[in-house]
Structure 1
Amino acid sequence: MRSFIILLSLLCLSATQVDAQSEIRYIINNYISVNSEVLGVNKTDYADWIVTDQYISRHNQVTHVYIRQKFNGIEVFNGIANFNIRNNKVLNMGNGLITDLSSKVNNQVPAINPIQATSLVADYFNLNASEIYITNAINSQEFVLSCDEISQNEIPIKLVYFANSDGSVVLCWDLSIYLLSGEHWYSVRVDAVSGEVIDIIDWVNHCEFGDHDHTVKSASQKQVSKSSTSFSKKAPDSYNVYAPPIESPNHGNRTLEVNPADTAASPFGWHDTNGINGFEFTITRGNNVHASEDANDDNLPGYSPDGSSTLDFNFPLNLNQDPSNYLDPAITNLFYWNNIMHDVWYKYGFDEASGNFQQNNYGKGGMGNDYVNADAQDGSGTNNANFATPPDGNNPRMQMFIWTGGGASNLLHVISPASIEGAYGAVVSSFGPAVGSTPITAKLVAAIDLAPDSLNACDGITNGSGLVGTIALIRRGDCQFTFKVQAAQDEGAIAVIIANNVPGAPFSMGGISSTITIPSVMISQADGNTLYNELFSGSIVNVTLVDSSANFNRDSDLDNGVIAHEYGHGISNRLTGGPSNSGCLSNAEQMGEGWSDFFGMIMTIEAGDSGKDIRGVGTYASGQSTQGDGIRPAPYSTDFAINDFTYASTNNTAAVSQPHGIGFVWCTILWDMTWELIDMYGFDPD
């Protein structure tokens, strides 16, 4: 009898779920039908679609539904729409449906198989894939492949249709490859007939913090000697960290946070994974995050501090040394802040059903097995950070880097002529080798290329033979820093100096490259003009690049604004297109960078703050004071004398880049709005 009752209950539950789905389908179809003229769709455009994601926001009882068009049983990759529904009424719709779909489809039969498609993608990215094999044939249109030579994970691949910008809709193989380096997690569409790679989305957000026009106030890195005054204390389940609203070591002291896990968001604590009282890990690992070092850049779990059976993560911290000597407190801070971001934003709707990051979803919906892999002091780069957000059910990865000093150090020394001899401020790039203690001395030569700007090395260097064995001088602008340095290296230069093209201090140039083997630095526009004027007057200029400073590097694992920024990418990517579609923020005008800055700002706001305050992003990591401009075109402030950027500023491509500069403008707008709301309703520290 008991078995019969259980079976009957399951049947009733299943019937209820089917009825609910039918009701949602009716509501959506009816809404599209009524608004078909405005939406520009015909009946065949929405005759077949699937729900890719659906969940309810508990605080307002709005049901969020994400759909994708299908044609002849095959999904249309970018034929998507989302609906917000309450009380059986569509409140609003985000429309990305492909119109006149049936007339645009080109083919229904693939000419290449999934292994061939994957091989073509490997060739496209210059990857060596000698053995690709099928591990699971789900059906005739969907497979799982494996190739350890090119991807950390298995390679899912299936047939989809893809709407091109020219209006055509082509049959494609849709696959994703997580490169062994961890620098890219490519989601790719390959034409299933021609084999052409026609669409690429990178699930890794490379923040390229240095690629902005900003002024660094401090000329050298401040030496910090703060350490925890509570180190002698012992407490169970405790973490000695820079807790909210403290943004960094420059903003305040560490505190011992005891039992900080939120009982709703993390009901079994931060070290549980099985949903039973008691912890499974005593290291910085649990249901929401696994924080460890990855200095050798193998994307495998490295060292993690152990809090023992009492979960006591109270470690001493002395910042006046290399970051590799304070791994325990740094990783503890990274672990703590990943968990805090999880717990706080859980309360605002980023929960299991909406695609948050948890190993065990405790039966509350969504896909589990996707806690954050947080890599401290990651060895894949410097002066940066990134966050990879795959679809729900796949582990995201946060990579936090060492920052090699803030502001301009005297890395550049002009040896001759005597008229300009002396030391010049320069900042090393985040890619390629750093300027070391061994001097690099050579003749300085201006790289010349084709018009319109003959000094920026973007259009083919014309004096390549003259760069062999020299240090190349190149002007900033029009193309990526890595492109410029690679171009000079290919011509035989042994180092590169980039002259800023706008007033202000130099900064660490952002970018990623595995092929650049020469150091590069940036100097100010004024210093660049001095060097160019001397060269164009006919003088022979000899220079030396050398780092003889004693400044200690900074660890971004202690810059909570940067951590929150990276975690924010995960939130916005999972919520915008639905948990299973994390590729909706890849266009140049997306607002993800702005939302991420906002996460960091709002997590560190406190009583007594004013909208007119100077709020620079990443001031600690970049070696600035708390009043520094940070790593954006300007600090955030409602004071127009400090930040005068408006939406119109996005038209100024020289001052506002895509997408990072556009994100900065968006966060400027959000920050103004935040203080308007505070002025109206008051400040609540919770």
Structure 2
Amino acid sequence: MRLDLALSLVGAAATVNAFDREKFRLKSSTQYTKSSEAAVISLKLAKRGGDYVDVATELVKTVAPDAEFRVIDDHYVGTNGIGHVNFRQTAHGVDIDNAIFNVNIDKNGNVFSYGNSFFTGDLPAEAPASANSLPIDSIKALNIASELLGLSIETNDAALEESSDVYVIQGVSGASQNPESKLVYLIKPDGNLSLSWKVDTVTQETSYSSYVDINAAEVVGVSDHVSAATYEVYPIGLNDPWEGERSIVENPEDSTASPNGWLGRNNGYDATFGNNVRAGALPVAEVLYTKPNANGTYVFDYIPDGGDPVDFRDAAVTQAFYTTNMLHDLYYLFGFTPAAGNFQLSNGDEGGKANDPVDVLIQHYAGKNNGLFSQTVDGRSPTLTMYVFDKTDPYRDGAFDQGFLIHEYTHGLSGRLTGGAATSACLEDWEADGMAEGWSDLFASALAIKPDDTSATAQYGFAAWPLNVTSPRTARLVMYSTSRDVNNWTYSNANGLEKVHQVGTVWATMLYDILWSLIDKHGKNDNPRPDFVDGKPTDGKFLWLKILTDSFSIQPCNPTFIQARDAILDADLALTGGENKCEIWKGFAGRGLGANAVYDRSNRVDNFDLPAGVC
């Protein structure tokens, strides 16, 4: 979960400022045109059947004929054959930062579906003045943002270096990297445009994009991007130390996803620094513990509750390195490749932007009882942070809760794919942010399924072990279960919830039912990776995770529950021809997100109807 979400779950980290996140959350008005509706407009396009970028561009010109826009440089063709092209609206050559049009093109060159959050109001009559003629400069904007966010960034010696249309603010202190600023427009919640400095700041604990209105000299929006060989580890399938013993795992890397292995010795690194992940401990500020350096044998002692976390640091770093690399390889097989914007130091010749492996920092000095993931755009390394938990004596290390690591890393998957890898704010609106929590819980729950679990018996609870929560075993308000006696939540339960991870529980509850419906239909693969036939996993568990992964690229920027549901159905249509639409519809309708469910930000209405003829 990102920073504000993690705090709401388990208590604040020691040094984080608690500004009013909801007041400054980016809002959007997104439309999604699903495949059955997009087919009509596709027939009218002259370039239909041609290059997928050209077809997508013609569609945008057709749907928004008066709009000025640019192609975002993150388009690619997914493993399901769907081409994904993202566009950003501009005004007088200046980006409207939260106006995104995403187009999905099928393998025949036809429009498959699309999402649209372009601005339709009155545009400025004239281009903005040059940067040095504006009421405030980007350094002043940085100071305004830092004050609101409670960041200890000092700019007394700051100087600007212009690179294209981005200003790098050098000579500051208190930031992990030089802040950057860019002049953009922002669609405000009231529907008007604000000409703003977009100020990107990264510290040890935070990663924000703040929008500072140049005329009002105040922050009008904030995007929080912190949504935390041989190995002896808890293997995929064991969620935490309560569930079993560690075991020796040899050469677990996938040769397709990680052809040069996980360890980075060939890249000049030692120890748990590799192409996909750079893992270490940060118990003291600015002192990164990069061991273990074990020459390929990462076998270290660990006794649960047998001592302080520092006593078992080598084992904890090894666990974090193993789990996140396993996820890199699995998600690569699902289609989260370099072209799609995944996290790798070197992309070879596979496209995308390189130099962005995930930095995994455990036993972080800055807080307790949390896990964080900082979202970034392609080409910039995100950070997964795990803290020590102080709910037991001795303390417990969050790195040994595999479900927590899966949850955090999956924020990177959904965040990079939704809206494209060059955009990091497409899961910011209230329901979209909540669904990001739900997807992360669902992936963690799926990868914790045991060989003897069934749809009638399986239950999953999040973060119970590090928090020492036993009745029930979850940090969420309910367990995930198909049983209505255990979990009777429906769509309307999202009304009145105060935390986005609670909204995520509503969403994951629906997805969990569908997970088991597909397992009952297609069977269950208990291996850590799927078997594929014609690009499709052969079992229900991995098939569902593949469909969800595909849906991230298909859905619009900042979707609602209903739009994400439709994108999931479209993802199944693209991958399987729609052979699972009955199970998917039954899962959603059974939890109130049926064909006639009504979305309203404060008054969602349940509906349990199936579309005619779907089953």
Shift of 1:304: 1.9
User: Residues 303 and 63 from structure 1, CA distance in 2 versus in 1: closer, same or farther, beyond 3 angstroms?
Assistant: same
SS at match of 2:58: helix
Partner of 2:232: 240
**Alignment partners' CA distance in 1, 2:520 and 2:415:** 30
Match of 1:644 among 488, 491, 500: 488
Distance 2:86 2:262 in 1: 31
1:197 aligned onto 2:189:
no
Contact 1:554 1:623 in 2 (8 A): no
1:284 deviates by 1.2
Provide the residue aligned with 2:605 in structure 1: none
1:99 is displaced (CA, Å) by 1.0
Q: Is the contact made by 1:352 and 1:365 (CA closer than 8 Å) also made in structure 2? A: yes
- Once the two structures are TM-superposed, the CA of residue 349 in structure 1 deviates from its matched residue by 1.0
Amino acid at match of 2:239: E
Quick check: 1:661 aligned with 2:506?
no
1:312 to 284, 297, 302: 297
Cα distance change of structure 1 residues 92 and 556 upon mapping to structure 2, 3 Å threshold: same
Out of 253, 266, 291, the position equivalent to 1:261 is: 253
Aligned ranges for residues 54-73 of structure 1 at < 5 Å? 54-58=75-79, 60-73=80-93
SS at match of 1:190: strand
Describe the superposition over 1:633-668 as per-residue Cα deviations: whole angstroms up to 9, x where unpaired.
Answer: 0111111111111112112x3xx4331100011111
Which residue in 1 is equivalent to 2:23? none
Higher Cα Rg: structure 1 or 2? 1
Q: Which amino acid aligns with 1:649?
A: N
Letter in 1 for 2:301: P
Letter in 1 for 2:339: A
Gaps of 5+ in 2: 1-46, 531-615
1:628 deviates by: 3.8
Name 2:98's counterpart in structure 1: 78
Output the amino acid matched with 1:64. H
Q: Is 1:683 matched up with 2:524?
A: yes
Shift of 1:120: 2.5
Contact 2:282 2:288 in 1 (8 A): yes
**What is the rounded CA distance, in whole Å, between the counterparts of 1:199 and 1:21 in structure 2?**
40
**Alignment match, 2:3:** none
| Cα-to-partner distance string for 1:281-300 (whole Å, 9 max, x where unaligned) | 341111111111111244x5
Determine helix, strand or coil for the equivalent of 1:353: helix
TM-score (norm 1): 0.65
Match of 1:302 among 282, 286, 289: 289
Task: Quote the Cα distance in structure 1 between the aligned partners of 2:48 and 2:357.
Answer: 30
1:194 to 1:665, Cα distance in 2 relative to 1, 3 A: same
My pick for the range that moved more, 25-34 or 246-255, is 25-34
CA offset digits 1:31-63 (Å, max 9, x no partner): 2455x3xxxx4x222x432324201112x1111
The 8 Å contact of residues 264 and 272 in structure 2, kept in 1 or not, is answered as no
Shift of 1:600: 0.9
Three-state SS of the structure 2 residue aligned to 1:574 is: helix
Match of 2:6 in 1: none
Q: 1:128 to 1:364 in 2, by over 3 A?
A: closer
- Offset, 1:170: 2.4
What is the aligned residue count? 472
Tell me if structure 2 keeps the 8 A contact 1:105–1:168. no
Per the TM alignment, residue 101 of structure 1 is displaced from its structure 2 partner at its CA by: 4.8
Equivalent position of 1:90 in the other structure: 111
Render the CA deviation track for 1:130-161: whole Å, top value 9, x for unaligned.
Answer: 3253453124x432112432321122211111
- Contact in 1 for aligned 2:271/2:290 (Cα 8 Å): no
Whole-angstrom CA distance in 1 between matches of 2:330 and 2:90 = 37
Give SS of 2:113's match.
strand
Shift of the 281–381 alpha-carbon distance from structure 1 to 2, 3 Å rule, reads same
Amino acid at match of 1:596: S
Residue 163 of structure 2 aligns with an amino acid whose one-letter code is I
2:59 to 31, 43, 50: 31
Aligned positions of 1:130-169 closer than 5 A: 130-134=155-159, 136-139=161-164, 141-169=165-193
Residue 269 of structure 2 is matched in structure 1 by 281
Distance 1:24 1:168, change over 3 A: same
Q: Structure 1: how far apart are the matches of 2:315 and 2:280?
A: 11
Shift of 1:128: 4.9
Identify the residue that residue 366 of structure 1 maps to in structure 2.
Answer: 352
- Equivalent of 1:113, from 112, 116, 137? 137
1:122 offset after TM fit, Å? 2.7
Decide whether the 8 Å contact of 2:161 with 2:170 is kept in 1.
Answer: no
**1:558 aligned onto 2:400:** yes
Instruction: Identify the structure with bigger relative contact order (alpha carbons < 8 Å, sequence gap 6+).
Output: 2
8 Å CA contact 1:111–1:194 kept in 2: the answer is: no
Question: Structure 2: how far apart are the matches of 1:279 and 1:382?
Answer: 33
3-state SS of 1:631 partner: coil
- Tell me which amino acid in the other structure corresponds to 1:119: N
Candidates 379, 382, 391, aligned match of 2:377: 391
SS at match of 2:87: strand
Distance (Å, rounded) in 2 between the aligned partners of 1:25 and 1:316? 53
1:375 positional shift? 1.0
Identity value in percent: 30
Q: Is the 8 A contact 1:238 1:312 kept in 2?
A: yes
- Write the distance in 2 (CA, Å) between the matches of 1:253 and 1:184: 35
Separation in structure 2 between the aligned mates of residue 125 and residue 282 of structure 1, nearest angstrom: 37
Taking a change above 3 Å as real, the CA distance of residues 20 and 382 of structure 1, as seen in their structure-2 partners, is farther
Greater per-residue helix proportion: 2
Q: CA separation in 1, counterparts of 2:520 and 2:129?
A: 58
Does the 8 A contact of 1:361 with 1:368 survive in 2? yes
Q: Larger deviation: 120-129 or 352-361?
A: 120-129
Find the residue that maps to 1:295 and give its secondary structure: strand
